[in-house]
Structure 1
Amino acid sequence: MRFAEYLRPGQVTERRLFVQAGVTDAVYRLPEADTNAAVLDLAGLERARAELAADGLTLSVVEPVPPMEAVKQGLPGRDRELARLTALIEAMGRLGIPVLCYNFMAVFGWTRSHVDLPGRGGATVSGFNLDAFERAAPAAHHISDDDMWAHYRYFLDAVLPAAERAGVTLALHPDDPPVPSLRGVARIMRSPDNIARALAMSDSPAHQLTFCQGTFATMGADIPATIRRFADRIAFVHFRDIRGEAADFVETFHDEGKTDMYAAMRAYVEIGFSGPVRTDHAPTMYGESNDHPGYATLGRLFAIGYLKGLYEAARAGAAS
């Protein structure tokens, strides 16, 4: 298992703190200018890789992908978006960056109804309540399950050959929150069975899964059993936890949610997972800005230590 953290351009202090905490790999968010460019700036991505390497970090994952709303909604212009995505995949292949994390959530991506709820000791956490979200605005779209599956098939047919040639793994993130729909827009990656259906659409080695523990927990899944179910398709892990279920949940510190995190870590060890894992959606702690909910620094440092401790314990338990 490789310990990774999510970094935006220019986060020098954060990346040095993460390295001091034992992180070895970077999950990199492209600058907005790059994600919207018609052709990816390969030199810019190469510079980012070199800057991260100078601080001791290997650039292992790019997350998220450039915008592709036309692809997800089946609109005119989707082929231009796919060409831009293919350019990114080709650049990653040339630079040896192995994993691209993406989602297939149309119109509404990562969605929370609240980002300022009180957590343990006065920390700030995010949460989601479907009724509150639906009441806040009327449905403005209608995209069915069948539509979304057809659009996903088009996407896979377009990008998997390029990913195979480049040696880049496309790692599908489940829908967050995993509810049937949001304001008329279907959410198809909402259950373990639907994820299995998506993965069954191609056995390409480039077609893999981002196992977002918190999202599978909101689905009500048995986390260790689901890790084992997808053992041969997990390329990347988001390590987090929640209390509640898909239509009504709050995010938590990593040691106080509904999941048996040690049992989850034992499952990763048992399946021999050796890819990158990053902590995800940590609470904002005392004295920090909540400008980027889930991605302030102190909560992630706490989570890294907890994650590493679980891993050492799970490895020792497996060896005994």
Structure 2
Amino acid sequence: MRLAELVQSRPDPLWTLMKQCGVDDAVVLLDGAEQEMRWLRAVGAPPPTFTDERPWGEAAITAHQERLADHGLTMAAIEDTPPLDAVRLGGPQRDEQISHVIEQVRAMGRLGVPVLCYNWMAVTSWARTDVAVRIRGGALSTGYTRAGDLALPPVVEPGSITEDQLWDGLAYFLDAVVPEAEQAGVRLALHPDDPPRAESRGVPRIIRSVEAFRRVLDLHPSPANAVTLCQGNVALMSDDLPAVIRELGRREAIAFVHFRDVRGTADDFVETFHDDGQTDLAACVEAYAEIGFDGPLRPDHVPTLAGEDNHRPGYATMGRLFALGYIKALRQVAYGR
């Protein structure tokens, strides 16, 4: 298990703090690419500063690798892609967008970056209806309620996007990109929909169950067609997360892990400190050890603690450091190191 942490595209104090915690592997977003723009850029942040108009291209990824290396860090995964909505929705620009992903995958192969995390959430990203829920000790966390979601205006005309449309787009994507990923030695790691609901704000969500993961793996069987096991989402799909880890592990399908926990159901939940959720996380790490998982794993969606601002909910610093220590202890017990 390669304990990693998500970093932004320019150095900040976390780069030093994670090294001080004994973490050498970084998961990155790409300055100005789809996910960095959709969900990690802080409220009020300036426009992207990249100079390469193709942040997913080899020159931009190389520059990012070099910045990390200057801090003693290795790029273990990329959690970002070019825009993909034309592919997800079967639009006229889908082949152009796929060509950009292939460019990224080939560059990652040449640069030795083994995992590309992507998602199939069209138009939107992960959904929360509250980003300042008070949990233990007054820490601030994120939460979701179905009632709160329904109170928000739809982002598309309801019914204008269908589940079949999204599944067809995903199959088309896998047929085009998996062979390229195989050749490059890169694993495509599909992230589940967050939350795992049938729809959010008028947009269907198809990667919302363990059965959906099985269907994806069967669409194009290959070591390059894998999943990101985001524990907070899968814990809302199944009441036996370690069993899911073992099942997907037997298929050698887990390329990347988001290690987090929640309390509640897919219709009403709050994200928790790692030691205060509804899941037996020690049993999860034991399951990863049992299947021989040796890929990147990072803490995800941590609370904002006293003295920190909440301008980037789920990604403040002190909660991440708490999570890193907690996960390192679980790993030492399960893996013996």
Same fold by TM-score, threshold 0.5 exceeded?
yes
| Aligned equivalent of 2:35 | none
Instruction: Check if 1:140 corresponds to 2:160.
Output: no
Let me know the Cα RMSD of the aligned residues: 1.8
| Aligned equivalent of 1:208 | 226
| Aligned equivalent of 2:147 | 131
1:5-16 residue pairs with structure 2 within 5 A? 5-16=5-16
Which one of 235, 240, 246 corresponds to residue 260 of structure 2? 240
1:266-285 residue pairs with structure 2 within 5 A? 266-285=286-305
| Aligned equivalent of 1:103 | 119
| Aligned equivalent of 2:323 | 303
Instruction: Check if 1:229 corresponds to 2:247.
Output: yes
CA contact (8 A) 2:56 2:81 kept: no
Instruction: Check if 1:75 corresponds to 2:91.
Output: yes
Which one of 39, 61, 65 corresponds to residue 45 of structure 1? 61
> Cα deviations across residues 185-220 of structure 1 (Å, max 9, x unaligned)?
221110001111111111122101111111101223
| TM-fit CA distance, 1:273 | 0.6
SS class of match (1:163): helix
Give distance in 1, aligned partners of 2:55 and 2:330: 42
| TM-fit CA distance, 1:315 | 2.8
Give distance in 2, aligned partners of 1:92 and 1:35: 19
Which stretch of structure 1 is more off in the superposition, 77-86 or 293-302?
77-86
> Cα deviations across residues 120-170 of structure 1 (Å, max 9, x unaligned)?
111110011112111221462422222211111111112112211211110
> Cα deviations across residues 76-120 of structure 1 (Å, max 9, x unaligned)?
211121111111111111111110000011122211111111121
Instruction: Check if 1:198 corresponds to 2:216.
Output: yes
SS class of match (2:219): coil
Q: Which runs of 5+ in 1 are unaligned?
A: none
SS class of match (2:255): strand
Give distance in 2, aligned partners of 1:153 and 1:41: 24
Give distance in 2, aligned partners of 1:278 and 1:13: 18
Percent identity between matched residues is 48
Give distance in 1, aligned partners of 2:190 and 2:319: 25
| TM-fit CA distance, 1:41 | 3.8
> Which amino acid in the other structure matches residue 21 of structure 1?
C
Give distance in 1, aligned partners of 2:183 and 2:264: 42
**Number of equivalent positions:** 317
| Aligned equivalent of 2:37 | none
SS class of match (1:218): coil
Name the CA shift for 1:39/1:55 in 2 (closer, same or farther; >3 Å): closer
> Which amino acid in the other structure matches residue 334 of structure 2?
A
CA contact (8 A) 1:36 1:67 kept: no
Q: Which runs of 5+ in 2 are unaligned?
A: 33-47
